[in-house]
Amino acid sequence: MAGVDPVHPGTRAFLQELRALGYTEGQNIVVERRSAEGHFDRFPSIARELVTLKTDVIVVAGGNSHYKQVKDTTSSVPIVMLASQEPEKAGLVASLARPGGNVTGFTIDISPEIDAKRLELLREAITGLRRVAYIGSKAAWDSAGAQALRRAASTFGVELTHVESTPTDYTTAFATIERQRPDAVFASFSPETFANRQALAEFTLKARLAGMFPYAEIAEAGGLMSYGMSVPDLFRRSAHYVDKLLKGARPADLPIERPTKFDLVINRRTANQLGLSIPQSVLLRAERVIE
């Protein structure tokens, strides 16, 4: 996360957009970077530290439990969430239109049918797709998106099996998938999938397995393909929320917004390594093809 242009694509997009809005670190803004480094139990202590530093705005990437941990730490410092899910139901905000309190930002609640769309794209890309391993937590498997995915799998004649993972442990799930040898891996749409993006890409490459992922960053790291919201775009838009809050806007009045940018990314280099020929009809629909 360090430096003017950090490696993390979201943080980089956030800082670049702040600069575009007229903010220069060390001159008219100080950005305190903190990372839990995949250890989600660190969120409360990080939040307490940031409140002690008397920050003007806290931008948080993670899941609902992490936003709640930060919200429980302060009721006065504005909090910008990057990827909440059903924030009203979770008690994070009063409503999407008028959040109330000190929390605003973004929800990643989109049509559950997007998971079905991912399976459809995977099926079009891989001729003869029959067996797919869904890797994700039990909560992800029970979600509306996974239910839509199971319906689509039944329609397509695809056997879909759940291989359970935890936010910090994919080792057992990877071993199970290697034993099962499915035609492809389908990763859940969840914060832990993004947090473990490098491990997922490396595993599918090493195991010589096709993979469909919800984040472009996994395809960029070597996964076969991805379809889903643009994470850098959410970070970029969050910079505009920070700008408004620093200029006096109240988080209570800033509506919760949804993703607006969705990308299909195909790693043709990985396809070649796997001996797959992606149909031209699929390649033409991709926003990016990694050669």
214-250: per-residue pLDDT in tens?
A: 999 999 999 999 999 998 899 999 999 999 999 999 9
Measured at the alpha carbon of residue 271, what is the angle toward residues 280 and 259, in degrees to the nearest 5?
A: 75
Mark whether 130 and 198 lie in a shared domain.
yes
Is residue 196 situated within a structural domain?
yes
Q: Which residues contact 8 (CB under 8 A, 6 or more apart)?
A: 1
What local confidence, expressed as pLDDT, does residue 190 receive?
87
The range of the structural domain enclosing residue 119 comes to 113-229+263-290
Q: What is the distance of C-alpha 209 from the center of its chain?
A: 21
Q: Which residue has the tokens 């008397």?
A: 54
Q: Are 138 and 202 found together in one domain?
A: yes
Strand, coil or helix: 287: coil
**Residue 276, in any domain of the structure:** yes
Residue 4 lies in a domain: no
> Is 238 in the same domain as 181?
no
Task: Output the DSSP codes for 175-212.
Answer: HHHHHH--SEEEE-SSHHHHHTHHHHHHHHHHTT-EEE
pLDDT at residue 1 greater than cutoff 50: no
Q: In terms of domains, do 117 and 128 share one? A: yes
28 and 162 both lie in a single domain? no
* Overall domain count for the chain: 2
- The CA–CA distances, whole Å, from 178 to 161, 203, 237 equal 13, 10, 39
Judge if 136 and 221 occupy the same domain. Answer: yes
**Does 1 fall in a domain?**
no
Q: How confident is the model at residue 5 (pLDDT cuts 50, 70, 90)?
A: low
200: in domain: yes
Model confidence band, residue 110 (pLDDT cutoffs 50, 70, 90): confident
Is 238 domain-assigned? yes
Cβ pair 183, 210 in contact under 8 A = yes
DSSP-derived secondary structure letter, 158: -
My answer on whether 178 and 71 are in the same domain is no
Residues 40 and 85 in one domain: yes
Domain presence at residue 2? no
Q: Residues 142, 269: one domain?
A: yes
Please check the confidence at residue 290 and state whether its pLDDT lies above 80.
yes
Q: What pLDDT score does 282 carry?
A: 97
CA distances to 124, 158, 214 from 130, rounded to whole Å, are: 12, 5, 20
Question: Both 154 and 221 in a single domain?
Answer: yes
Shared domain check, 224 and 118: yes
Residue-wise pLDDT tens digits, 10-62:
899 999 999 999 999 999 999 999 987 767 788 889 999 999 999 999 999 88
Sign of the alpha-carbon dihedral angle for 123, 128, 130, 134: negative
pLDDT one-digit tens code per residue, 182-197: 999 999 998 889 889 9
Contact present, 188 and 135 (Cβ < 8 Å)? yes
| Mean pLDDT score across all residues of the chain | 93
Structure tokens at 82: 């990057």
Question: Is the domain of 90 the same as that of 133?
Answer: no
Residue 3 banded pLDDT, cuts 50, 70, 90:
low
